Structure 1
Amino acid sequence: MRMLAIIVQVSKLDLPRPSRLAGALQPLPLSSQDRWIVDASGNNVPYVGVNWPGAADTMFPEGLQYESISNIVGKISQTGFNAVRLTFAIEMVDDILDNGGDVTLSNTLTLALGQENGTVVLSEILANNPQFSANTTRLQVFDAVAEELAAQSIYLHLDNHVSKAMWCCALNDGNSWFGDTYFNTTKWIRGLSYMATHGKGNWPTFSSIGLRNELRLSTTLAPTLEPYTWSTWKTYMTAAATAVNTANPDLLIFFSGLDSDFNIEPAVGGSTLADPLFSFTVASYPWANKFVLEIHEYDEGISSVCSIYEGILLTFGFDATTKTNGNRAPLVVTEWGHDETDASGAYNSAYSTCLTQFMVQRQLGWMIWVLAGSYYIRSGTQDSDESYGLLDHTWSGYRGNASLVALEQVIQQTYAAYGQ
């Protein structure tokens, strides 16, 4: 997610919401078929999801100092979502494989927050989630989240957000591009394979995995930095997809693009004038029936006229599902979002209205940023508030009422577009 302003939550709403509209999950495994994601019976599947961050400094899912996992997942289900994009950092896997094993909650909170604050937050987490102890590991927390998502019939989409755990995404953070300061490509592929294998045996609704969040130009000048080209993208993304498919052939594999995942058009078309050596044909790979494209779109003030705005989106790859040549494929908008406070009026902005209308009409999957009302720590600020959060600062109620009503309408419209 691009850097966004933080504001303080001033109101708290805890209103009853309708049950999830989609009902029981369609059967796994999922596959891609032309422009559609389909279930094990060949029926089209909408991805209607929300992002749940777990890739920052503490390296486990946010919000547990305020609510139990079951309560958080309950809100996800009640709001109407059928999928969660759960983010993780490769650093967690590196610790497991290279640095003596996974880190406990006690130690990871102390490292991220300091001894005093880490101890306080740990006690709050354990009070809300008594199944854990100070010695519970980070991956065991992911396991518990996955178990609850399955219990409440929600697909788990795992997303590799960063290599080094931190808030994402800046051009100079060392996580931007292949070979960047913290972006060791060998360990990245290893980490994806590890998580794909681990989830296969432990996560009942593990349906898909995103190879990398918001690939972008790096300004670090790291000596191992690879050229910022689509040919480089192809080399590493296809290698990672092959490794994931070998580890867990049931998973859908989401491919992000360049420019903070706003541009996927060369991946859709299979070529680009900007890189004459680039040629990409999905059908030639063994995971062709697992290929999904993902894209991010935040309000950049491009145009307030929906027809003009939609034309711009099509130029950057939103035509993936209708392309008559190249790599026609399912498309999921894995990040979009806005300030969720009613006072902001963002839920009724031209951006929100035009984008949601476009996604529904084109029958695209989507995952809004973000569930989190606050973070353990974000860019050095502890207990940081998130104005884009669907939930309030304490994760106990909704941040806005009118904003939530507007979102629920989009959820209903998306399911209706799929005949559900």
Structure 2
Amino acid sequence: MRSLLRAVLCVLLLTAGTLPAQAAQAAQPPQEPPAAGAEAWTPPLSTRGRYIVDANGNRFRLRSGNWDGAQGSWNGSGDRDDPATHHSGQNANGIPLGLDRVPLPALLADFRALGLNSIRLPFSNEMLRTPTPVPDAAVAANPSLRGRTPLQVYDAVVAALTGAGFAVILNNHTVTTRWCCGLDGNERWNSGRSTAQWADDWVFLTRRYRDNPHVVGADLYNEVRRDVWDDPNWGLGDNHDWHAAAQEAADRILTEANPNLLIVVEGINWFGLPVDGFPHGRPTLTPVRTLSHTLVVSNKLVYSAHFYGYTGPRHSGATGIGETHDARYQDMTAAELEQTLYDQAFFVSAETGAHFTAPVWISEFGIGADEGGAAPRTWFDRLTGHLARTDADYAYWPLVGWSTTAQGAPGGDTWALLRYDTAGRRSGVLDPGDWRTARWSGLLTAPGRTGPVAAGTSWYQLTTDHRDHSASLLTRAGGDWDSGARKAVCPDGARLAGLAHTGGRGLCTDSGLRAPSGGHTVVRDERYVSAGGDWATGYTKFQCPAGQFVIGYSLRGERVSAALCAPARTDLPAGGRTLWFDRGDNRPAGGPGADFATGRYKGQCLPTEYAAGVAFTTRVASRPSPAALLCRPLPGPDVLR
């Protein structure tokens, strides 16, 4: 968000529960059928490689706007009832902006005129449990909303949006209802609460809308960043581990609330002290290359990133105190900006056939209608051009704002695409005089992929770095299959393709092999190794029974504890080969799936093979971790079809 770290910078330099929802609020909110004339698409949405697709497999490009307000507009000091203490002088009263001055149908018509098909709808956790109705003045243009709590107003907005045919992505923007994003108590998902409580709120809200199929996604948390003392991280396993927290919340949403939702995970927005000579920066999605997410429901993961010209990969966006000599995005040449965007985010969608391949949604970018500087305007031209050339999914920030000056002149929140004065008169990119109109129109009309998207090969990373990683609903339903061990299981419909010699990571890929009856076999000894079939002499071999293939594994410390095998729906060829990887990498040419265990030796069966066993040794001076795989040929493609 635009105020990124402005408040936190000065302070940093100087300092170097379960949701109690009322019965009325817990009721399922109303919904309306989609309006005629809306863009044709069929929910639910899912992903195929780098693309989001609808239920018919057709590309659905997110052309979105951020309709903010429900996350809070108060700047954190002064009288909350005084608009001067709110961002851009706009008191949102904890609900989406504009409801005081424009009827909902008119707002939605303007959204459609902008060319949008989807809305990112921020909220705060405080909003979910605020019992006081909003002031009548806050919904003056929509009198039917009088007497409702902020959550009930949010319900009505969701119903209106989805009834008009828009896809809605819920966005947990803040913990408390106040403006983001500095040192404001909203730095992390678990600021002032536990990760479990945060996930509880997500389960509550996604259950609330699960009967509305046009609510298509959950954007887990906005701009995770440093607080006064601590940085967030990606994979350290502690209370600040954003990767692990996102995995936990995502799996709970998909298993306890709604398996049809897209799960949106934003990268880390900021770490470190913004002082020259001190470590600091904006990792965004760079850690995804080595540690991605494998969710319990496949093809639901979307990664996201935010880009504003006044910030940079190592620039906080501050001016004066807290400003470093690092480049802002708007300071870069066209080539530098393109490479930086790729390195920070776009590699995730551009590099297909990797465990991290997913759609990338640029869920915030924007600039002011009153911006006259050459560098910011050039940056906006370059960014919108890049979004168009890369056929990216995007969401402008913000969609709606107040106009506080003469009609047609920038005023109030000049960044908003649509501004409305107290009489409901509109100004912005749909009206004359806004320099951004041509750039916005160019982005909307740029050619991009449409129609059916063929399903390709998917790859999934498993990690047991700090906890179990069971991505299989079928296996979860069977309970703990190796109590006390660290366990990893491929998603349903996938098979184990590779293992790391140390570190506990694995790689899965699509198979279509598993029998629909489910079930599995836990292998802890050599009982299924046939006489004369010693494929790893001197090593302990955990081999699947005939007709089964490896879908998971468990470890006790470094030592292999068990192999998990699943029955196939067809006969599986025997024979095969031993693939050793205890003294070096042993992977197919090109490394399909990408590097799933950076810095570790790895073994991986060919794409035309399945893993039927794991071998290891407990010899003195040897590591008891995976050392070899038994790779056997897959059935022919006609059988797997």
TM-score bucket of the superposed structures, by smaller chain: 0.7 to 0.9
Q: Check 1:62–1:419 CA distance in 2 against 1; reply closer, same or farther (3 A cut).
A: same
Counterpart CA distance in 1 for 2:376 and 2:224 is: 30
Residue equivalent to 1:175: 186
SS in 1 for 2:97: coil
* Superposition map of 1:337-376 within 5 A: 337-341=366-370, 344=372, 349-374=377-402
Q: Deviations over 1:259-285 (max 9, x none)?
A: 25953334431x2xxxxxxxx3434x3
Q: Check 1:391–1:345 CA distance in 2 against 1; reply closer, same or farther (3 A cut).
A: farther
In the alignment, does 2:54 pair up with 1:34? no
Q: Which has the higher helix share?
A: 1
* Superposition map of 1:80-229 within 5 A: 80-95=115-130, 102-106=131-135, 122-123=136-137, 125-126=139-140, 128-133=141-146, 135-170=147-182, 172-180=183-191, 182-201=192-211, 203-219=212-228, 221=229, 228-229=233-234
Q: Check 1:124–1:34 CA distance in 2 against 1; reply closer, same or farther (3 A cut).
A: closer
Gaps of 5+ in 1: 5-21, 96-101, 107-121, 272-279, 377-383
Q: Check 1:79–1:229 CA distance in 2 against 1; reply closer, same or farther (3 A cut).
A: closer
Q: Deviations over 1:10-57 (max 9, x none)?
A: xxxxxxxxxxxx952311000011111011011111000110012105
Counterpart CA distance in 2 for 1:309 and 1:78 is: 31
SS in 1 for 2:381: helix
**Residues 247 and 293 of structure 2 are in contact (CA less than 8 Å); yes or no, is this contact kept in structure 1?**
no
Counterpart CA distance in 2 for 1:236 and 1:367 is: 24
In the alignment, does 2:407 pair up with 1:401? no
Counterpart CA distance in 2 for 1:81 and 1:328 is: 25
In the alignment, does 2:58 pair up with 1:43? yes
In the alignment, does 2:362 pair up with 1:333? yes
Counterpart CA distance in 1 for 2:394 and 2:217 is: 14
Q: Cα offset for 1:62? A: 1.3
Counterpart CA distance in 2 for 1:346 and 1:139 is: 42
In the alignment, does 2:254 pair up with 1:248? no
Q: Cα offset for 1:312? A: 0.9
Q: Cα offset for 1:149? A: 1.2
**Residues 263 and 317 of structure 1 are in contact (CA less than 8 Å); yes or no, is this contact kept in structure 2?**
no
Which of 56, 66, 77 pairs up with 2:101?
Answer: 66
SS in 1 for 2:299: helix
Residue equivalent to 1:265: 285
Counterpart CA distance in 2 for 1:44 and 1:346 is: 36
Q: Check 1:333–1:226 CA distance in 2 against 1; reply closer, same or farther (3 A cut).
A: closer
Q: Deviations over 1:320-347 (max 9, x none)?
A: 1122534110000000000023x63679
In the alignment, does 2:385 pair up with 1:385? no
Q: Cα offset for 1:396? A: 3.1
Q: Check 1:230–1:85 CA distance in 2 against 1; reply closer, same or farther (3 A cut).
A: same
Counterpart CA distance in 2 for 1:211 and 1:90 is: 12
In the alignment, does 2:444 pair up with 1:411? yes
Q: Check 1:347–1:41 CA distance in 2 against 1; reply closer, same or farther (3 A cut).
A: farther
Q: Which has the higher strand share?
A: 2
SS in 2 for 1:177: coil
Counterpart CA distance in 1 for 2:40 and 2:179 is: 32
TM-score, with structure 2 as normaliser: 0.52
**Residues 208 and 251 of structure 1 are in contact (CA less than 8 Å); yes or no, is this contact kept in structure 2?**
yes
Residue equivalent to 1:112: none
Q: State which drifts further: 229-238 or 352-361.
A: 229-238
Q: Check 1:2–1:406 CA distance in 2 against 1; reply closer, same or farther (3 A cut).
A: closer
Q: State which drifts further: 302-311 or 244-253.
A: 302-311
Counterpart CA distance in 1 for 2:380 and 2:112 is: 22
Q: Deviations over 1:108-141 (max 9, x none)?
A: xxxxxxxxxxxxxx23623x112122x2121221
Q: Cα offset for 1:229? A: 4.4
Q: State which drifts further: 249-258 or 306-315.
A: 306-315
Counterpart CA distance in 2 for 1:338 and 1:360 is: 17
Q: Check 1:348–1:233 CA distance in 2 against 1; reply closer, same or farther (3 A cut).
A: closer
Q: Cα offset for 1:392? A: 2.3
SS in 2 for 1:320: helix
Q: State which drifts further: 248-257 or 399-408.
A: 399-408
Amino acid at match of 1:140: Q
Amino acid at match of 1:357: G
**Residues 30 and 252 of structure 1 are in contact (CA less than 8 Å); yes or no, is this contact kept in structure 2?**
yes
Counterpart CA distance in 1 for 2:38 and 2:190 is: 43
Q: Check 1:345–1:160 CA distance in 2 against 1; reply closer, same or farther (3 A cut).
A: same
Aligned-pair identity in percent equals 25
**Residues 146 and 204 of structure 1 are in contact (CA less than 8 Å); yes or no, is this contact kept in structure 2?**
no
SS in 2 for 1:373: strand
TM-score, with structure 1 as normaliser: 0.78
Q: Deviations over 1:277-336 (max 9, x none)?
A: xxx3434x3133100000000003334422221101111122111225341100000000
**Residues 347 and 406 of structure 1 are in contact (CA less than 8 Å); yes or no, is this contact kept in structure 2?**
no
Q: Deviations over 1:235-282 (max 9, x none)?
A: 21100101111211111000011125953334431x2xxxxxxxx343
**Residues 390 and 404 of structure 1 are in contact (CA less than 8 Å); yes or no, is this contact kept in structure 2?**
no
**Residues 335 and 366 of structure 1 are in contact (CA less than 8 Å); yes or no, is this contact kept in structure 2?**
yes
Counterpart CA distance in 2 for 1:263 and 1:410 is: 26
SS in 1 for 2:122: strand
Counterpart CA distance in 2 for 1:351 and 1:40 is: 36
Q: Check 1:344–1:230 CA distance in 2 against 1; reply closer, same or farther (3 A cut).
A: farther
Counterpart CA distance in 2 for 1:352 and 1:104 is: 40
Amino acid at match of 2:249: A
Counterpart CA distance in 1 for 2:266 and 2:285 is: 11
Residue equivalent to 1:17: none
**Residues 217 and 228 of structure 1 are in contact (CA less than 8 Å); yes or no, is this contact kept in structure 2?**
no
Q: Check 1:234–1:408 CA distance in 2 against 1; reply closer, same or farther (3 A cut).
A: same
Amino acid at match of 2:393: G
Amino acid at match of 2:143: P
Residue equivalent to 2:509: none
SS in 1 for 2:356: coil
Counterpart CA distance in 1 for 2:441 and 2:61 is: 15
SS in 2 for 1:150: helix
**Residues 372 and 390 of structure 1 are in contact (CA less than 8 Å); yes or no, is this contact kept in structure 2?**
yes
**Residues 398 and 404 of structure 1 are in contact (CA less than 8 Å); yes or no, is this contact kept in structure 2?**
no
Q: Cα offset for 1:393? A: 4.5
Q: Deviations over 1:349-379 (max 9, x none)?
A: 2211111111111111000001122399xxx
**Residues 63 and 375 of structure 1 are in contact (CA less than 8 Å); yes or no, is this contact kept in structure 2?**
no
Counterpart CA distance in 2 for 1:204 and 1:328 is: 25
